[in-house]
C-alpha cells in the first residue's frame, strides 16, 4: 500500500516544484520506504510514496512507465491475483521487467482498458496517464477499501490518496460543505462523492473516471452491490461448502506478500477465524496485536483475556498494549489531520495505536476482520430490528417527511409505523428529529445528501423481492463500510505505514453472500449463523459463541477529564458557521450522551483545523 497523487494544469502552465514537494511530503507516512515524483511534461506530474510489500526491488518504484513511455501509473493497494493476470498477458506476448503487481496492472490496462477492472481481485486505487491522448484514468476498488479523492478547481486537476494531499498543494481553497456536515451528523461520515470541502470530491467504490485533455469528466460505475441477484437455487450444503472455500481462498490471497503478514486480534469469532486460517500451514508463528485500556468504563469489559485465549488456542504470538488518557491527549491535537476525512467513530484512536504497535514489531501488513458483522448479521440491534419488523407492519408508505421524535426508540417506531426509513445504516449519530432541533436552518434537512439513504430506501423497496435484511447489508456496503469503517482503518493505521487487508470483503465472497436467500443466510435472526457453522471446523465453541461487545474507546471517560476543551471547539465552530441552534447545542453538552459530544467536537475540530490555515 502506498500514497498516490497527481497534478495537471489544464492551461499547460508550469507546475511549481514546491507544490509537488508539499503533496509528496503529505503522503510519506503512507509510503515511508520510497517517495518520488515524475514530471511527464511541465504541466503534468505524478507522485508516489511507497510501502514496499510485493517485489521489494527498486525496479518496482513508482511512478511506473510503460516501455514506450506512453502510459504512466501510480497505484495504491494490492492486486492479489496478479500472477494469474500476468500469465494471461504473457500468453499474448507481453514482457515483464519486474515481479510485482504494479507492472501487471499497467500492462493489463494497456491490453484491456477499463475492462481490466473486471479481472482484478484486490484492494486498489490507481491512476493511469496517457501521454498521447493527454487523458487521465482513475479507479477505486469495488468495496472502497482504498480511498481516492480528486478536485477540478479552476484550471487544475489534482487527485490523491488523502484529502490533505490535495489541500496541502495550496492550489485548492477550503470551502466548507455544509450539506456534507449535516450528512456527517446523521451517518458519522459523508456519503456519495462528497467531502467536507466543497472543492474536493471522492471517487465512490466501484467507480472509475476519465478526464479528457480539456478537463471533461466521464464517471462510470462498474460494480454495484444493489445489482447482485439472489440465487434461489442454493441449498444449505452448497452454501456452507462454498463459503468455506471462499473464506480460505480469500485469506490465502491476502497472505500474498514479500514481507511478513500479521493480524489484529480481538479474540472474537471474526479475527480468531482469520488467525486460524492464516496459521494453518504456517512455518513460523503468526504475530498478532491487541490494544486494551488501563481504565474500565461502562458497557465495555475489554477484550484482552479473550485475545489471550484465542492466541493460545490458535498458536499465535500476541503483542499487547494498554492505552490511557495520556495516550489520547498525545494525538488529540492532530487527530483531525490523521483521520483526514470526516469520520465520527472514535475507534480510530485505538487503531492508530495498533498501527504503531505493528510497526514497532517490524510488521507492514495485517489482516483484519472488518465487514464480517455487516455480511453475516453480527449486530444485536440489527437482529432485534428484524424480529420487530416481523410483527409491526407499516400503516402507510409515505417516506417524504421525517419523524420529529428525537428519542431513538420513538423515532424508530414512528418510522416503522409510517413506512419511513427504519434503517439508515449501521452507524447513527443523530436522527433527523435531533438534527432538526440542532441546526438553525431547517431547510438544510431537505438537501439530497442528508436524505440520500431515504431516496435509496424508496427505490429499493419498490422491488418485489426487497428484504429488510438484505437492505441492511447493501446500504452499509454503500455508505458505512467504505466511508467510515474502512476509512478509519486506512487513515489511522496507515499513519504508521501499515497496510490492512480485509478478507471478509473480498468481492467474490461479498457477491456470494449477497446471492444467498434470506432463509439460508439468516434462518433464526441470530448473529452469524452460517459463519458460526463454518467456524466449527476450525475453532472451539468458547470462541464461536463468545458474546459480542464490539471494539470501543472510552471517549466519554476521557471527555469528562477536561470537558471544556470539547465544548469550546464546538462553540468556536458555531461562531464561524452559525450552523447550530446555540440553545440546543448547550443542551447536548449539558446532558450525559458523551458520544454525541464527541461527534460534535470531532466535526468542529475538523472544520477549524482547515478554516484557520
CATH number of the domain at 538, please.
3.40.50.620
The b-or-e profile of 170-180 (16+ CB within 10 A means b, else e) is ebbebebbbbb
In-domain check, residue 541: yes
In-domain check, residue 593: yes
d(CA 405, CA 90): 62
- The pLDDT value recorded for residue 428 is 84
Average pLDDT for the chain: 92
- Of the three residues 544, 559, 574, the one that is the final residue of a domain is 559
Question: Is residue 45's pLDDT more than 60?
Answer: yes
Kindly state the percentage of the chain with pLDDT values over 90.
78
User: Do 256 and 217 lie in a common domain?
Assistant: no
Peptide bond into 63 cis (omega under 30): yes
Contact 239, 530 (CB under 8 A): yes
Helix axis angle, 304-314 to 269-278, nearest 10°:
30
- The pLDDT value recorded for residue 613 is 67
In-domain check, residue 361: yes
Least confident of 30-44, 46-60, 282-296, 484-498: 282-296
Our separate counts of H helices and E strands in the chain read: 26, 17
Pairing of the two strands 149-153 and 156-160: antiparallel
For 267, the domain range is 225-559
User: Do 516 and 578 lie in a common domain?
Assistant: no
In-domain check, residue 184: no
Kindly state the percentage of the chain with pLDDT values over 70.
97
- Count of beta carbons in the 10 Å neighbourhood of residue 368: 27
Residue 367's SS3 state is strand
In-domain check, residue 148: yes
- Of the three residues 518, 544, 559, the one that is the final residue of a domain is 559
Provide CB contacts within 8 A for 463, sequence distance 6+: none
User: Do 198 and 240 lie in a common domain?
Assistant: no
pTM of the model: 0.95
User: Do 320 and 335 lie in a common domain?
Assistant: yes
User: Do 460 and 573 lie in a common domain?
Assistant: no
- Of the three residues 539, 559, 579, the one that is the final residue of a domain is 559
User: Do 322 and 450 lie in a common domain?
Assistant: yes
d(CA 306, CA 219): 46
Question: Is residue 282's pLDDT more than 80?
Answer: no
Nearest to 346, CA basis, from 570, 139, 551: 551
In-domain check, residue 181: no
User: Do 369 and 446 lie in a common domain?
Assistant: yes
- The pLDDT value recorded for residue 188 is 97
d(CA 493, CA 1): 11
Residue 397's SS3 state is coil
Q: What is the mean pLDDT of residues 503-525?
A: 94
In-domain check, residue 489: yes
Question: Is residue 525's pLDDT more than 80?
Answer: no
User: Do 611 and 597 lie in a common domain?
Assistant: yes
Question: Is residue 1's pLDDT more than 70?
Answer: no
Contact 268, 548 (CB under 8 A): yes
User: Do 586 and 507 lie in a common domain?
Assistant: no
Contact 1, 469 (CB under 8 A): no
- pLDDT (tens digit, 9 = 90+) per residue, 6-34? 999 999 999 999 999 999 999 999 999 99
Least confident of 29-33, 313-317, 609-613: 609-613
Question: Is residue 391's pLDDT more than 70?
Answer: yes
Contact 421, 399 (CB under 8 A): yes
Pairing of the two strands 286-293 and 316-323: parallel
d(CA 209, CA 106): 16
In-domain check, residue 594: yes
- pLDDT (tens digit, 9 = 90+) per residue, 461-473? 999 899 999 999 9
d(CA 166, CA 272): 38
Q: If 0-12 CB within 10 Å is exposed, 13-18 middle and 19+ buried, where does residue 576 land?
A: middle
User: Do 524 and 601 lie in a common domain?
Assistant: no
Q: How confident is the model at residue 248 (pLDDT cuts 50, 70, 90)?
A: very high
Angle at 228 between CA 223 and CA 231, to 5 degrees: 150
Q: How confident is the model at residue 302 (pLDDT cuts 50, 70, 90)?
A: confident
Domains: count for the chain: 3
Question: Is residue 104's pLDDT more than 70?
Answer: yes
How far out from the chain centre does Cα 33 lie? Answer: 24
Contact 103, 50 (CB under 8 A): no
User: Who wins on pLDDT, 355 or 333?
Assistant: 355
Residue 531's SS3 state is helix
Question: Is residue 300's pLDDT more than 90?
Answer: no
Provide CB contacts within 8 A for 320, sequence distance 6+: 290, 291, 292, 304, 307, 308
Question: Is residue 396's pLDDT more than 70?
Answer: no
User: Do 80 and 215 lie in a common domain?
Assistant: yes
- The pLDDT value recorded for residue 561 is 86
Q: What is the mean pLDDT of residues 150-178?
A: 95
Least confident of 241-250, 275-284, 314-323, 345-354: 275-284
User: Do 408 and 388 lie in a common domain?
Assistant: yes
How far out from the chain centre does Cα 514 lie? Answer: 19
Q: How confident is the model at residue 38 (pLDDT cuts 50, 70, 90)?
A: very high
- The pLDDT value recorded for residue 554 is 85
Angle at 286 between CA 281 and CA 288, to 5 degrees: 145
Question: Is residue 406's pLDDT more than 90?
Answer: no
Amino acid at each position: 500500500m502506498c500514497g498516490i497523487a497527481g497534478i495537471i494544469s489544464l492551461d499547460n502552465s508550469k507546475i511549481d516544484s514546491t507544490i509537488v514537494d508539499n503533496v509528496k511530503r503529505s503522503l510519506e507516512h503512507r509510503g515511508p520506504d520510497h517517495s518520488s515524483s515524475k514530471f511527464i511534461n511541465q504541466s503534468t506530474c505524478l507522485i508516489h510514496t511507497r510501502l514496499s510489500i510485493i517485489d521489494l526491488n527498486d525496479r518496482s518504484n513508482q511512478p511506473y512507465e510503460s516501455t514506450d513511455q506512453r502510459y504512466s501509473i501510480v497505484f495504491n493497494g494490492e492486486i492479489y491475483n496478479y500472477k494469474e493476470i500476468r500469465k494471461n498477458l504473457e500468453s499474448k506476448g507481453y514482457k515483464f521487467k519486474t515481479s510485482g503487481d504494479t507492472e501487471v496492472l499497467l500492462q493489463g490496462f494497456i491490453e484491456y482498458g477499463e475492462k481490466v477492472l473486471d479481472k482484478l481481485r484486490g484492494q486498489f486505487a490507481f491512476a493511469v496517464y496517457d501521454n498521447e491522448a493527454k487523458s487521465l484514468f482513475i479507479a477505486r476498488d469495488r468495496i472502497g477499501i482504498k480511498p481516492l479523492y480528486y478536485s477540478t478547481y479552476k484550471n487544475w486537476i489534482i487527485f490523491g490518496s488523502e484529502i490533505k494531499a490535495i489541500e496541502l498543494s495550496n492550489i485548492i481553497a477550503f470551502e466548507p460543505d455544509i450539506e456534507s456536515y449535516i450528512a456527517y451528523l446523521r451517518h458519522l461520515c459523508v456519503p456519495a462523492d462528497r467531502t467536507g470541502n466543497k472543492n474536493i470530491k471522492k471517487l465512490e467504490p466501484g467507480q472509475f473516471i476519465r478526464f479528457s485533455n480539456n478537463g471533461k469528466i466521464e464517471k462510470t460505475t462498474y460494480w454495484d452491490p444493489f445489482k447482485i441477484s439472489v440465487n434461489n437455487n442454493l441449498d444449505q450444503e452448497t452454501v456452507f461448502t462454498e463459503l468455506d472455500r471462499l473464506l480460505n481462498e480469500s485469506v490465502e490471497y491476502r497472505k500474498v506478500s514479500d514481507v511478513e503478514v500479521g493480524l489484529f486480534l480481538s479474540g472474537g469469532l471474526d479475527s480468531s477465524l482469520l488467525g486460524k486460517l492464516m496459521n494453518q500451514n504456517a512455518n513460523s508463528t503468526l504475530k498478532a496485536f491487541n490494544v486494551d485500556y488501563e481504565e474500565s468504563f461502562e458497557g465495555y469489559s475489554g477484550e484482552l483475556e479473550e485475545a489471550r485465549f484465542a492466541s493460545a488456542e490458535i498458536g499465535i504470538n500476541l503483542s499487547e498494549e494498554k492505552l490511557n488518557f495520556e495516550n489520547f491527549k498525545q494525538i488529540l491535537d492532530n487527530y483531525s489531520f490523521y483521520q483526514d476525512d470526516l469520520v465520527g467513530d472514535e475507534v480510530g484512536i485505538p487503531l492508530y495505536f495498533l498501527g504503531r504497535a505493528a510497526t514497532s514489531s517490524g510488521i507492514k501488513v495485517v489482516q483484519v476482520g472488518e465487514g464480517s458483522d455487516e455480511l453475516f448479521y453480527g449486530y444485536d440491534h440489527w437482529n432485534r430490528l428484524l424480529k420487530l419488523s416481523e410483527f409491526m407492519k407499516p400503516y402507510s408508505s409515505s417516506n417524504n417527511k421525517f419523524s420529529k421524535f428525537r428519542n431513538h426508540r420513538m423515532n424508530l417506531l414512528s418510522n416503522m409505523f409510517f413506512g419511513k426509513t427504519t434503517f439508515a445504516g449501521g452507524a447513527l449519530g443523530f436522527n433527523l428529529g435531533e438534527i432538526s432541533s440542532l441546526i438553525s436552518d431547517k431547510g438544510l434537512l431537505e438537501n439530497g445528501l442528508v436524505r440520500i439513504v431515504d431516496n435509496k430506501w424508496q427505490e429499493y423497496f419498490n422491488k418485489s423481492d426487497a428484504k429488510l435484511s438484505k437492505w441492511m447489508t447493501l446500504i452499509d456496503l454503500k455508505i458505512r463500510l467504505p466511508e467510515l469503517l474502512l476509512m478509519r482503518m486506512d487513515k489511522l493505521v496507515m499513519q504508521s505505514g501499515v497496510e490492512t487487508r480485509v478478507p471478509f470483503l473480498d468481492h467474490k465472497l461479498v457477491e456470494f453472500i449477497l446471492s444467498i436467500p434470506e432463509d439460508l443466510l439468516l434462518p433464526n435472526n441470530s448473529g452469524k449463523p452460517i459463519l458460526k457453522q463454518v467456524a466449527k471446523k476450525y475453532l472451539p465453541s468458547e470462541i464461536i459463541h463468545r458474546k459480542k461487545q464490539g471494539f470501543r474507546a472510552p471517549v466519554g471517560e476521557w471527555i469528562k477529564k477536561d470537558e471544556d476543551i470539547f465544548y469550546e471547539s464546538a462553540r468556536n465552530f458555531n461562531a464561524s458557521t452559525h450552523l447550530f441552534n446555540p440553545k440546543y447545542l448547550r443542551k447536548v453538552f449539558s446532558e450525559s450522551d458523551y458520544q454525541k459530544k464527541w461527534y460534535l467536537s470531532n466535526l468542529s475540530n475538523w472544520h477549524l483545523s482547515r478554516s484557520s490555515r
